[in-house]
Amino acid sequence: MSEPMLNESELHAYADGQLDERRRAEVEAWLAAHSADAERMEAYRRQNEALRALFDPVLDEPIPQRLRRPERQPWGMMPVLRHAAVLAWIAVGGALGWFLHGAQEARPGAAMALVHQAAIAHVVYTPEVRHPVEVGADQEAHLAAWLSKRLGATVKVPHLGETGYELVGGRLLPGATGPAAQFMYQDGRGQRLTLYVRTDAGGSRETAFRYARENNVGVFYWIDGPFGYALSGDLDKPDLLRVAQLVYRQLNP
Amino acid sequence: MSEIDRLIEEHIPRLRRYARALAGDRVRADDLVQDTLERAWGKFHLWRRGSDLRAWLFSIMHNVHVNGVRKNSAAPALLPLEDDALQMPARATQEDGLQLRDVHAALACLPQEQREVLLLVGLEEMRYEEVAKILEVPVGTVMSRLSRGRERLRQIMAGAAVPALRVVK
C-alpha cells in the first residue's frame, strides 16, 4: 500500500496516543515525510504535557473540608424534625408577620437591592482565607463602636453561639447609599454565615421577615428601625431561619 | 461514610484538577467542584450502577459550569481577592515555569468550548467518544473544537498574534 490516507482526527489521535500500534506506525511513517504536520503534532503533544505539569499537582492537594460530604444533620435524618422545622418556620413567619404587620412595605426594589448586595458581599468575603474580616472578634467592642460611628446609628453585634456559629469579626462595606457593615460567623466545620447591616434609606420602618435566594446563597432579610438586615448563608432554609430568629431576638431583647 | 460517598470521593482530586484548569483560580474551581458534588449527592439515584462514574461526574460538572458561565455573563463576576488564587500550582523548574505560565495564560484565551475539550483530552486523557458523551455533542464537533483549540494555543504560544481576523486574499 502506498501512503495511507490520513485525516486531521487521526493526527490528533496520534498525538493523544489513542491509535492502535499498527495505525500509529503508519501515521509515524507518514509524518516522517510531512515535517510541518510532524512539528504540529509534536507541539500538541507538548501541550498535553504542559497541561499535566501545570495541573497534576492539584491531585496531591489535601481535599478541603467544604468538599467533603457534611455529616448528616439530625435535620436530614429525621423527617419528623424536618416537618417540625417547617411548621416552626411557618409559625414564626406568621408571628413576625403579625408582629410587624403595621409596617409599611419597603419598596421591593430597595429590598432586593439589600438582598443582592448582601449576597454579593457574602460570596465575596466568605471564601477568604487570610482576610475574611477587617476587625476580628477579639476586638469586638472596637468593631461595634467603629461601625456604629460609620453607619451613624448604634450597631449591635449579635452572638449566635447557641446555633454553633461564632463571631469571626466584621468589616465596613460600601452600600448602595452609604456605608454598610458585614459580620461574619463560622461554625466548627468552617461553614460561614454573614449578617449584612445597612442603614435603611428606603423610608420604610419595618418589614416582615422575608427569604430570597440569590445564586446559591439563601438570604433572610428584614428592616427594623433605622437598619436593613440580611443574613446570608449556604444553608437549608429552616436552618438559616433558626439563626435569623436568634439574630432578631438578640437585636430586639 | 456510605459506599456512595466513598465512590464519589475517589473522584474529587480529578474533579478539582479539571476545575482548576477550567476555571483558572482555586476559589472558583472549588466552588465549581462543590456545586458538582452537591448535585451528585442529591441525584445519586440517577446514576446507573456499573456505568462510568467519572463520566457521570464530569458531565454534571460540565452542566454546572455552563450554567455558571451563563449566569456570570449576565451579572458581574464575583471574585474574592485572594493573592494565592492567582498563583499557579508550582512544581516546574524556573525555566519551564515561564513556559507553563504562558500555557496557563494562553488557555484562558481559548473559547470555553475549546478549552473544555482540550482539557478533557489532554489532561483527563479521555477518549474522544467519551468527551462527546460528556459534552453531549457529536464526535465530529469534539474533533473540530480540539483541532481549533490546539492550533490557537500553539499560535499563542509561538508568539503569533491571536488570529482573530481572517486574512482575505
Higher pLDDT residue, A5 or A30? A30
Q: Are A18 and B9 inside 8 Å of each other by CB?
A: no
Per-residue pLDDT at A85: 53
Per-residue pLDDT at A95: 52
Higher pLDDT residue, A190 or A208? A190
Q: Are B1 and A40 inside 8 Å of each other by CB?
A: no
Residue at A131 is within a domain: yes
Say yes or no: domain B89-162 is CATH 1.10.10.10.
Answer: yes
Q: Mark residue B26 as left, alpha or beta (left: phi above 0; alpha: psi -120 to 50; beta: remaining).
A: alpha
Which chain A residues touch B if contact means CB-CB below 8 Å? 8-9, 12-13, 16, 18, 40, 43-44, 47-48, 50-61, 63-64, 66-69, 120, 123-125, 127-130, 215-216
- Stretch A50-54: mean pLDDT, rounded? 92
Residue A35 and residue A131 in one domain:
no
Percent of chain A surpassing pLDDT 90: 43
Q: Could you tell me which chain A residue has the CA closest to the CA of B16? A: A58
Q: By mean pLDDT, which of A137-151, A164-178, B123-137, B153-167 is the weakest? A: B153-167
CA atoms within 13 A on the CB side of A11: 23
Per-residue pLDDT tens digits of chain B, which is 169 residues long: 677 788 888 999 999 999 999 988 888 898 899 999 988 888 887 888 778 899 999 999 999 998 876 555 444 433 333 333 333 333 334 444 446 777 888 888 889 899 999 999 999 999 999 999 999 999 999 999 999 999 999 888 777 444 444 444 4
Per-residue pLDDT at A215: 74
Residue A56 and residue A88 in one domain:
no
Per-residue pLDDT at B126: 95
Residue A78 and residue A54 in one domain:
no
Q: Has residue A206 got a pLDDT over 70?
A: no
Number of structural domains, chain A? 2
Q: By mean pLDDT, which of A21-25, A91-95, A225-229, B82-86 is the weakest? A: B82-86
Select the CATH number that applies to the domain covering B1-87 from these four: 1.10.150.130, 3.40.50.261, 1.10.1740.10, 1.20.1050.10: 1.10.1740.10
Residue at A88 is within a domain: yes
Per-residue pLDDT at A226: 79
Per-residue pLDDT at A202: 56
Residues 6+ apart with CB under 8 A from B110: B118, B149, B152, B153
The highest-confidence range among A52-61, A75-84, A203-212, B114-123, by mean pLDDT, is B114-123
Higher pLDDT residue, A237 or A84? A237
Q: Which residues of chain A form beta strands (DSSP E)?
A: 135-136, 166-174, 179-186, 192-199, 210-214, 217-224, 227-233
A18 in Cβ contact with B129 (< 8 Å): no
Distance between CA A191 and CA B47 in Å, rounded?
A: 28
Higher pLDDT residue, A5 or A12? A12
Instruction: Quote the ipTM score.
Output: 0.80
Residues of B in contact with A9 (CB under 8 A): 128, 143
